[in-house]
Amino acid sequence: MAMLEITDLHTYYGNIHALKGISLTVEQGEIVTLIGSNGAGKSTTLRTISGLNQARNGELLFNGLSLRGIPAHKIATMGIAQSPEGRRVFPRMSVLENLEMGAFVRGTVDQSDIARVLELFPRLKERIDQKAGTMSGGEQQMLAIGRALMARPNLLLLDEPSMGLSPILVEQIFDIVTEINKQGTTVLLVEQNALMALAIANRGYVIQTGEIVLADTGAALLKNEAVRKAYLGEG
């Protein structure tokens, strides 16, 4: 059984048909990436999985259990954590307080989880008492990922973790995503940086105006001519 199995999923915003029958799977232990242009439906896919948007049709199974109709706060306790687009940290709270909030769904803050996050992101350790809103964009992005990890998710949903970061930080973030995965967390990664995302992913899906148009291994998609033209800025 796949960890996540999505079949013919349709999501609307009013009468805007944002997801037009998405099907995808994520197996335990994988990094799967979803790539596509602005407005393709990447965030909507993640938000439908985490319960922030409700699907109108289709199937959404997590370890065989249907997530449809389950509210977001409940899904968060089921082993799915999302790092949202645009690094939504709590600006007036310190780094430590933000991390503690991430553990809220578990009902307890485990010091070993904080230690693990600070080991992955040494920068956060140096700034542990700093107000999150005063940190740089890259630091806030690290905090958003760290906060999601505090829930000890089985499935981590990352929405454009590299957005707006300098090339060196982008590399660091992708290395850290790989490390998080090696430590046992399954990852569904939404990215516009298709080159980097496909390079670290086991498999990838290309989404275009609410539909999956290509699905293959990361390596095969990297070589795919249509992908290279549309998403890697070639031709």
Ligand X SMILES: Nc1ncnc2c1ncn2[C@@H]1O[C@H](COP(=O)(O)OP(=O)(O)OP(=O)(O)O)[C@@H](O)[C@H]1O
| Choices 29-37, 39-47, 150-158, 178-186 (CB under 5 A): range interacting with Mg ion | 39-47
Please state the closest distance from residue 192 (CB atom) to Mg ion, in A: 8
Lay out the site mask for ligand X across 17-56 (x = CB under 6 A, - = otherwise): -x-----------------x-xxxxxxx------------
- Rounded Cα–Cα distance for residues 24 and 9 (Å): 9
* Residue from 157, 125, 173 nearest 33 by CA: 157
CB-CB contact of 49 with 70 (8 Å)? no
Do the strands 186-191 and 16-26 form a parallel or antiparallel pair, or are they unpaired?
A: unpaired
CB-CB contact of 192 with 163 (8 Å)? yes
Nearer to ligand X, 56 or 223 (CB): 56
Question: How long is the chain?
Answer: 235
Which of 11, 33, 43, 224 is close enough to bind Mg ion by CB under 5 A? Answer: 43
Do the strands 65-66 and 55-62 form a parallel or antiparallel pair, or are they unpaired?
A: antiparallel
Please state the closest distance from residue 207 (CB atom) to ligand X, in A: 7
Q: Quick check: 168 binds ligand X (CB under 6 A)? A: no
- Rounded Cα–Cα distance for residues 179 and 95 (Å): 21
75 sits in which H/E element: helix 72-75
Q: Which of Mg ion, ligand X, none is residue 16 near (CB under 5 to 8 Å by kind)?
A: ligand X
Q: Quick check: 82 binds Mg ion (CB under 5 A)? A: no
Q: Quick check: 164 binds ligand X (CB under 6 A)? A: no
- Rounded Cα–Cα distance for residues 150 and 99 (Å): 6
Please state the closest distance from residue 22 (CB atom) to Mg ion, in A: 14
| Choices 12-20, 109-117, 178-186, 221-229 (CB under 6 A): range interacting with ligand X | 12-20
Residues that bind ligand X (CB under 6 A): 13, 16, 18, 36, 38-44, 85, 192
